[in-house]
């Protein structure tokens, strides 16, 4: 293996036709380079989506009412109905597998025009009536102050937690908003906190930074919503599929509101656990496709090397005959040719791997920090173990590329090889 003459032979053989050697090696270089770029890009896409989910509870389901599509118990089809406050306790009492229950009510959206005022500043923002549990399902980082608590709900306090963009519009820079009063649709609320979202890729209801949370009970009383609930956010207990919660909650709510159990459109829902599993499966499929395409490109380069090695063997037929006549064993001839193939593929593959990883690292360094902005691409780097596997594939491919020419070389009888012109 470390015979100097042997390595000199390998170098001489490859250097005889530099252009041919270069373009042959370039096929392998391009295959592994392309594989690294695709793997890094796939990781960047997956990292961006995962980062965008933040600490969002993926074991959750969101449910809301929709017009009925079937007549039931004397009620006509296309009937509009609403969830109610007593549904909250009913869900807790009848579904033991359930974790958190977070009802929500909308108090007007940004499309309605300026609905929030502070001194001479005004803006149009999303207003939500929430329970403290909402911040456990879709967490936000508190920049200042605190989020809603049980005392705010029980006493229907006129307090508000505002998004960071709301603060920027209504307040002066560096002004402390805590304790200040803002007017929401004509009613004054005291600001108790400023938040920034932990995820931006899941906006259930609108831009989170341009949202205001007030106590659920306060919104119902102040704006005359009665006991209406717009939708529920529900989570499952550990090790319980949230689909179980979705099915049981849908059945229970239909029974309580006289909706046909066969009316599958009357209760709308988004199952985050199901969506997350589908997304995970999608990324697995993308990675599988990347490996198939990358290895296919790499094999094309390896086949090129195998063909070139066949040409080299043909050019060196007389030389091989002399080696055999002088007592060289078939194994030595095979190892010589396979070594040449492995050296060529390994150098080209390693160069492609290094350049591919380097480019992805440079892209990663020059990508802006996502902060709390919505992002779909982040940290497009290649895992070290994946790079090692790819390099091992290159070396193994080099062995395969050299075996066919090597077997052909030893199949020629020494006497025929010596007569070859």
Output the 3-class SS for 318-337: HHHHHHHHCCCCHHHHHHHH
Q: What percent of the chain has pLDDT over 90?
A: 36
Same domain, 243 and 284: no
pTM of the model: 0.70
Same domain, 76 and 207: yes
81 has pLDDT over 90:
yes
Domain end point (choices 270, 290, 322): 270
Instruction: Give the per-residue pLDDT at 90.
Output: 94
397 has pLDDT over 90:
no
In sequence order, the β-bridge partners of residue 332 are none
Q: Are 28 and 347 in contact (CB under 8 A)?
A: no
378 has pLDDT over 90:
no
Instruction: Give the per-residue pLDDT at 189.
Output: 96
> For tokens 């118990």, what's the residue?
73
Closest Cα to residue 159, out of 218, 208, 106? 218
pLDDT tens for each residue of 42-69: 888 777 776 666 677 788 999 999 999 9
385 has pLDDT over 70:
yes
Domain end point (choices 270, 292, 322): 270
Q: Are 147 and 135 in contact (CB under 8 A)?
A: yes
Rounded Cα gap, residues 374 and 11, in angstroms: 53
Q: Give the pLDDT mean for 143-164.
A: 95
In this structure, of 257-271, 372-386, 403-417, the range with the lowest mean pLDDT score is 403-417
218 has pLDDT over 80:
yes
Same domain, 139 and 80: yes
Cβ of 11: how many Cβ atoms within 10 Å? 12
| Number of residues that this document lists for the chain | 421
Closest Cα to residue 183, out of 119, 89, 96? 119
pLDDT tens for each residue of 131-141: 999 999 988 88
Instruction: Give the per-residue pLDDT at 420.
Output: 47
Q: What is the mean pLDDT of the chain?
A: 81
Q: Give the pLDDT mean for 5-30.
A: 69
More confidently predicted of 182 and 364: 182
Same domain, 74 and 28: no
Same domain, 284 and 142: no
323 has pLDDT over 90:
no
Per DSSP bridges, beta strands 187-197 and 159-163 are parallel
Cβ of 238: how many Cβ atoms within 10 Å? 7
H helix count then E strand count, the chain: 13, 14
Same domain, 351 and 290: yes
The angle at the Cα of 278, spanning 273 to 280, to the nearest 5 degrees, equals 95
Q: Give the pLDDT mean for 169-188.
A: 93
Rounded Cα gap, residues 79 and 75, in angstroms: 7
Same domain, 187 and 292: no
> Would you give the end-to-end CA distance of the chain in angstroms?
31
Rounded Cα gap, residues 129 and 217, in angstroms: 7
pLDDT tens for each residue of 236-253: 998 889 999 999 999 999
- Which range marks the domain in which residue 294 is found? 4-54+277-419
Q: What percent of the chain has pLDDT over 70?
A: 77
Instruction: Give the per-residue pLDDT at 127.
Output: 92
Domain end point (choices 270, 291, 306): 270
Half-sphere exposure of 226 (CA within 13 A, CB side): 6
Same domain, 341 and 410: yes
Same domain, 202 and 313: no
The angle at the Cα of 311, spanning 305 to 317, to the nearest 5 degrees, equals 130
Structural domain count of the chain: 2
Rounded Cα gap, residues 323 and 6, in angstroms: 13
Same domain, 293 and 337: yes
Same domain, 240 and 303: no
Q: Give the pLDDT mean for 359-364.
A: 85
Tokens standing for 317?
């037929």
Same domain, 65 and 169: yes
The angle at the Cα of 271, spanning 269 to 275, to the nearest 5 degrees, equals 130
pLDDT tens for each residue of 219-236: 999 988 999 999 999 999
């Amino acid at each position: 293996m470390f015979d100097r003459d042997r390595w000199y032979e390998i170098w001489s053989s490859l250097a005889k036709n530099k252009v041919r050697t270069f373009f042959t090696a370039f096929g392998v270089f391009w295959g592994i380079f392309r594989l690294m770029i695709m793997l890094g890009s796939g990781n960047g896409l997956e990292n961006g989506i995962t980062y965008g989910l933040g600490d969002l509870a993926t074991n959750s389901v969101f449910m809301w009412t929709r017009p009925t599509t079937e007549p039931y118990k004397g009620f006509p089809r296309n009937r509009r109905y609403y969830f109610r406050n007593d549904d909250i306790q009913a869900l807790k009492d009848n579904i033991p597998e359930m974790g958190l229950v977070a009802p929500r009510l909308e108090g007007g959206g940004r499309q309605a025009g300026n609905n929030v005022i502070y001194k001479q500043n005004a803006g149009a923002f999303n207003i939500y009536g929430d329970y403290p549990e909402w911040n456990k399902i879709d967490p936000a980082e508190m920049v200042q102050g605190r989020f809603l608590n049980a005392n705010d709900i029980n006493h229907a306090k006129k307090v508000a937690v505002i998004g960071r963009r709301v603060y920027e519009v209504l307040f002066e820079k560096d002004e402390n908003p805590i304790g200040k009063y803002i007017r929401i649709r004509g009613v004054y609320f005291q600001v108790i906190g400023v938040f920034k979202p932990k995820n931006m890729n899941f906006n259930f209801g609108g831009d989170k930074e341009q949202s205001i949370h007030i106590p659920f009970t306060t919104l119902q009383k102040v704006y005359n919503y009665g006991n209406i609930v717009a939708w529920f956010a529900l989570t499952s207990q550990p090790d319980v599929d949230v689909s179980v919660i979705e099915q049981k909650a849908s059945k229970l709510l239909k029974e309580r509101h006289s909706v046909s159990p066969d009316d599958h459109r009357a209760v709308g829902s988004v199952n985050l656990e199901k969506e997350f599993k589908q997304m995970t499966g999608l990324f697995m499929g993308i990675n599988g496709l990347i490996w198939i395409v990358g290895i296919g490109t790499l094999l094309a380069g390896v086949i090129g090397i195998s063909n070139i090695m066949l040409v080299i063997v043909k050019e060196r037929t007389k030389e091989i005959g002399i080696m055999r006549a002088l007592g060289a064993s078939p194994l030595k001839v095979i190892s010589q040719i396979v070594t040449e193939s492995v050296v060529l593929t390994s150098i080209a593959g390693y160069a492609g791997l290094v350049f591919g990883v380097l480019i992805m690292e440079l892209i990663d360094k020059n990508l802006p920090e996502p902060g709390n902005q919505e992002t779909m691409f982040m940290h497009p780097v290649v895992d070290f173990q994946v790079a090692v596997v790819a390099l091992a594939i290159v070396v193994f491919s080099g062995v395969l590329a050299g075996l066919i020419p090597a077997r052909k070389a030893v199949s020629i009888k020494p006497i025929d090889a010596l007569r070859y012109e």
